[in-house]
Structures are given as C-alpha cells and as structure tokens.
Structure 1
Amino acid sequence: MNAPRNAAAAAALLLALAGCGDSDVQEVRLWMAEVKAQARVAVPPLSEPKTFIPFAYGAKEAVDPFSPNKLLAELARAAKSSSGFKPDLERRKELLESYPLDTIKMVGTLQKAGVVYALLQIDRSVYQVRSGQHVGQNFGLITGVTEEAISIKEIVQDAGGDWVERMAKLELQDSKETK
C-alpha cells in the first residue's frame, strides 16, 4: 500500500517540476529580443575638438610693468604733474572741526541780516554756521546753506597720498515733534 502512495507522490512531484519549466521565460526572452531589435539609439556624433593655437608672446623686450625703476619714474612724473593741492595746515581750527560729520545733525535754519545760518546739533548743543565756515574732521568747508541741506567740500587723501576734494552734504533731520 505504501508503494502506490510513493508512486503517486513521485508522479505529482514530477508534474510540479514540469510546471516550473522554461516555457514562460522563453516568451519573455523572445519579447525582449523583439524590443531590442526595434529600439533605435539616437546619439549625435561628437564634434571635432577645436585646434589649439598657441599664443606667441611678443613683449619680451618691453619694459617689465612690475619693475621698481618704472614705479619710481611714474611716481616722480605724478609728483611733478600734481597741482600741489592740499589743505591749509597752518590755519587755526574751528570748534566744529573736532567732530566727525556723521555725529553732526542739521536741525534747522535761521536768517539774520540777510545771511542764512544752519543750526547744527552735536550731542545736546546747537551751533549756528554759515557759508565759509569749517566743519568736520576732513578740512570741510561749508559752500552753501539752504533750508534743506548744507553743502560741504572736504579735502581728503586718496590711496596714492594725493589730496583730493570730496563733496558732502548734511540734510535737515525731521524731528519727532514736527511729524
């Protein structure tokens, strides 16, 4: 009795193994081969590389731009051509020249005998100034006073050590009470 059961089990096992055959895999392989044959890869061809033309340096005989002699000659030429423009260091300093411009506020104007004066506030003190007076630490000369602003011409040194003029302006500051 045991033999027919073993034979039936062996037959069932053989049928199960036969079902695991290669038939489905073969269909997939055929489909992949068809798709691969139909697919066209469109890769544009690479362009030819540009030809390199070396640069011929023709300034070997020219003066070296970093030569100390050239720098000294240029500085001497600049010293001769400079106009000698510089501030009057012998002049007695005025009171408002000891304060930087960014600490000074214009708070108003007034007119006396036809001359317009600006009112400048430094800390808690108020000063009257007019055109021709000096203000600020950069030799600032007041060139004009209007109701809206003060025009100032300062004299400062540039990076090369030369004195140059620079224009500045102090504008009227609106107070909280007037708003």
Structure 2
Amino acid sequence: MTFTETKLKGCFVLEPDVFKDKRGSFFESYNKQVFDEGIGAEINFVQDNQSFSTKGVIRAIHYQIGEHAQAKLVRVLQGEVLDVVVDLRKDSITFGQHIAIELSDSNKKQVFIPRGFGHGFVTLSDSAEFFYKCDNYYNKSSEGGIIYNDPTLNIDWRIEPDKIKASERDLNLPILSEARL
C-alpha cells in the first residue's frame, strides 16, 4: 500500500496494491500494522459506518468536536464520489483549506482523515456505497457541520447547483466563521 500525505498535515491518500488475474482481483484494504506504520501514528478504529447515495447527493462537511472527535478512514465500495476534507484545526497553517479527491470502486483509493478535520462528499456516479472506519464512537451532542457551499471554503463540488440533493439538516448548517469548532 502506498501512503501519500496531502497538503493537510496528517491527512493521507492510500492506494492499495491490487493483484489481478483472469479470475478478477484481490487487495488488502486494511491492515492495522501497515496502516499505523504508513501514517506514523497508532489508530484504533472502533466503529464502521456505511451509506448509500444516489447521484448528486451531498453529505455536507461533518465532524465531531472535543473528546468525541473522530479520525476516519474512508473508501467507496461501489460507484464514485468526490471526497472533501477540510482542516478545522484553528492552530494549523492550513486552517480552512481543503482537498478534494475522487474515490471509486475502480481506483480503490482511501483517505485517512485525522481528528480535527471536517469531511463531506458528493456522489458523482448514478449511485455509490460509501464505507468508513472511525476511531471514536458517534456522539450527537458533539456533532458539528459546515454548509457545503460556504463561500470562504469555495469548494468545487463538480456538480451543477440545480442537481445537488442535500438533507434539510445539511442545508441549514452554518458557514465556517459561525461553526462550533
């Protein structure tokens, strides 16, 4: 597996070694020892989540704060998404900056998102099955979010605004400057 650190310190793109033959393909999607060594930290994942979305669905910029903050390892099992990670660490030189990367069942890339970051994605294919591991349990009172079209973040979601499908909750999230961090 190849680990490439992004411009957001601590955030990595992972690309597995895929073995193909006439029967199909095989790859190791997660190995704790290889993973911890690759990111240079020990992470203990405790919860797996999975979602299904249709084309144009945006799952806004979500995060957990305080003692319930979560690191995540995300990937796509079926389909294609544009995955977005936003640095929300106030003391970081990349605070408020983001990366966007295509994750798909064909490229098999994954993204490791450390604690202190926001995360969202939009489905680019007709549908997508999205999977992620978390190193802390979900806690409703610690959740936070930023609206997907925040003008200071200026994220290019690569989808026409009239094609976007978002939940009522996500449409009412604050902008970065008013978010609870």
TM-score by length of 2: 0.18
TM-score by length of 1: 0.18
| Structure of higher CA gyration radius | 1
Q: Choose between structure 1 and 2 for higher RCO, CA contacts under 8 A separated by at least 6 residues.
A: 2
| More strand per residue | 2
